[in-house]
Chains A and B, each alone.
Chain A
Amino acid sequence: MLELTAVEAHEAMAAGELDAGEYAEAWSKAAAGDDLNAYLWRNEDGDGGAIAVDRPSIAPIAVKDIFCTEGVPTTAGSRILDGYRPPYTATAVQRLIEAGAPILGKTNMDEFAMGSSNENSAYGPVLNPWDRTRVPGGSSGGSAAVVGGGLAPWAIGTDTGGSIRQPAALCGIVGLKPTYGAISRYGMIAFASSLDQCGPLTRDVRDAALLLAILQGADPCDSTSVGLRQAPQLPDREDLKGLRFAVPSDLTEHVFDAGVRQVFEATLEKIEALGGELGEVSLPHAEHGISAYYVIAPAEASSNLARYDGVRYGMRAGADGDLIQMYEKTRAEGFGAEVKRRIMLGTYALSSGYYDAYYGQAQKVRTKIAADFRTAFEEFDFVVTPTSPSVAFGLGEKTADPLAMYLNDFFTVPMSLAGIPAISIPAGLSEPEGGGPRLPVGFQIAAPAFAEQGLLDASYALEQAIGFDARPQGVRGG
């Protein structure tokens, strides 16, 4: 029964052909076989206290450890929150519980969602289920690895600059970043508040639609949440007739990985075969996305992470010194290298004398990037790119060079800055540079704000035409 997608399982349960309790139990056993370091906490006794589900009625789910869960450890991948048990549950998780989805466990992640390889977790890196010498991507690496590796039927993660889409691409699954505001951020530990968005990591597009339908909606506890205008329906579109897809040449001319380029171009041909129209579009400011993002996100993070000061929750160090010494020591011992780097970068960008040159200028670039997309969408329905410049890279390969790591987000950051929805679907396999077993390549489709239904419909049609059915060794299909 683990071969079923979440939608198939849901339909089988509704038809009385599948016992929800037995199904949840089977997944619980599968999750217990985690050999990827993907779970930080598992719901072993099936209880979970405050996050327990009375009567399971939908597929159990893995939750990124950035979501607060009442009474259940929540670390955001950081030592500073080691042992923290929040007094309340995030709205997104509460919606899952109310929908009858048992929580399988909390998944490993880059510390405070800062990273593209999951190597920034204080609890060790997650391994890619396709090749254990490689990274699963990040920051939702644990959530992507459990779905790709057969340790959960589906999962939720968060995406600030690509943290759902890039790991989904590297693990051969579907990842959707909804429009900013579609899903409540209440109880989602903040990284960069104007960019953070919760979303699904699933085996296929229909599962992503079902999960989005559960998660989306305005929440009085998050005044930036507005929900979608219409509840998403399961997609069943079979062609792409009348739909116009734009390739942003300013971005895609920077795809140099031959295998990624080949899969990308083959997918464009499939779009045409399905009746879709292809065209080129210019997003002249998108290539500055990384620069703007690595000012805005660290600036917001430096402010959000000021709360970890050893006073109200989490660890405390240096209690024998004065107050400032306690703050400095707690943060020195509690945060990892990447989080420190971003706090420093953000504090610098916001400091007196540099604010206008960095933060102000980056926010103007953000305006231009959003305007570029608006112009593109006057003529086109979607903008398409590869999700990531390369397939999964080796553990340790990019850790010494922060900038090289940041450039993994090259294709995903512009959409985040524009606040628009974007999905990554698996489009094929490609041999990594330097050789080795073939690895998944993701295809990214972006749509105008709140156009999730059209995005899911088109992605579904394309997904059927691609027919991606490869799985990592030892993982059963779906």
Chain B
Amino acid sequence: MASGGGAARLDLETAPRIRRVIDREQVLHVARLARLGLTDAEVETMAGELSGILEHVDRIAALDLDDVEPTSHVVELENVLRADVPHESLPKDVALASAPDPVDGAFRVPSPQAE
């Protein structure tokens, strides 16, 4: 834990802790879901760091919030509609200009199946 700053002492002991350890297999599973390549060293570090963060986050699991509605958006909004009128959009060549491999007016990607 860092020396300066109050961070270490902001450790709040207000809820019982659930000990959850993220193992190597779980890290690899989540990395696959996220399409994120990790080195062996990163897998090791990630397992420890995620376990530490989740241990802190797990405090909210102990709160009794069964009757509480979840909030996904804080400002009360009516559904916003606009007139269904076509308007100019990004020209195709401009949309393709930043692509790593544009070809024939399209984005080219490697084959989904390895050769």
Seen from chain A, the residues whose Cβ lies within 8 Å of a Cβ on chain B are: 84-88, 179-181, 194, 220, 223-224, 226, 254-257, 260, 285, 287-288, 290-292, 294-295, 302, 306, 309-316, 319-329, 331-332, 335, 340-341, 343-345, 347-348, 351, 357-358, 360-368, 370, 389-390, 393-394, 397-398, 400-408, 410, 417-419, 432-434, 449
Contacts and interface: CB of A to CB of B under 8 A. Distances in A.
B5 A343 contact: no
23 contacts: A87-B90, A87-B95, A179-B75, A181-B75, A181-B77, A194-B72, A226-B77, A257-B6, A315-B100, A319-B101, A319-B110, A326-B110, A335-B36, A344-B36, A345-B53, A366-B71, A367-B70, A401-B1, A401-B7, A404-B1, A408-B7, A410-B10, A434-B3
B57 interface: yes
Contacts of B7: 389-390, 398, 401, 403-405, 407-408
Contact of B70 (A180, A315, A363, A402): A363
B12 to A, nearest CB: 6
Nearest to A397: B2
Nearest to A404: B7
Contact of B75 (A226, A309, A310): A226
Nearest to A88: B90
Interface string B88-115: 0010001101111100000101111110
B70 A343 contact: no
B36 A331 contact: yes
A287 B11 CA distance: 10
Nearest to A298: B53
B68 A368 contact: yes
A404 B68 CA distance: 30
Q: Report which residue of A84, A344, A407, A417 has the largest number of chain B beta carbons within 10 angstroms of its beta carbon.
A: A344
B62 to A, nearest CB: 10
Contacts, number: 226
A320 B50 CA distance: 32
Contact of A302 (B34, B69, B72): B34
B33 A256 contact: no
Interface in B19-61: 22, 26-27, 29-31, 33-39, 42, 46, 49-50, 52-54, 56-61
A117 B48 CA distance: 22
Contacts of A329: 37
A180 B74 CA distance: 8
Contacts of B71: 363-364, 366-367, 370
Nearest to B55: A403
B4 A311 contact: no
Contact of B5 (A86, A314, A404, A449): A404
B74 A87 contact: no
B10 A291 contact: no
Contact of A324 (B30, B50, B101, B112): B112
A344 B30 contact: yes
Contact of B68 (A309, A364, A432): A364
Given A194-B72, A291-B60, A314 B100 contact: yes
Contacts of B34: 302, 331, 343-344, 347
